[in-house]
Structure 1
Amino acid sequence: MIFILFMIQDDLVYMENEQLLGEYVQTDVGKILVGPNGSARGREWIFGQFDASVLPACMLMFDKSDIKATSQGDPVMVARTISKKVNAYNANGYKEELNGILFGRWDGDYVDGVAPSAWTGSLPILEQYLDTNGECVKYGQCWVFAGAVGTICRALGLPTRVVTNIVSAHDTNVSLSINHYYDENMQELPDLPKGYGGWQAVDGTPQEESNGVYRCGPASVEAIK
Structure 2
Amino acid sequence: MIHIVFLASGNGGNMKFFHQSILDDLITGVRLTVIADRECGSIYYADNNNIQNYVINYQRSATLELSTTLQKVEPDIIVTNWHKIIDKNTVANYSGRLVNLHYSLLPVFGGLIGIEPIQRAYSKGCKFIGPTCHLVDEEVDSGTILAQAVFPIIIPLEKSIDLMFRKGCLVLLNGIEIILGTNLARHRSISGGMYSPRLTFNESVFDEAFWQKVALA
| Band the TM-score falls in, shorter-chain normalisation | under 0.3
- Normalized per residue, which structure has more strand? 2
Q: Which has the higher contact order (CA 8 A, sep 6+)?
A: 1
- Normalized per residue, which structure has more helix? 2
Return the index of the structure with the highest Cα Rg: 1
Query: Normalising by the residue count of structure 2, what TM-score does the alignment of the two structures yield?
Result: 0.25
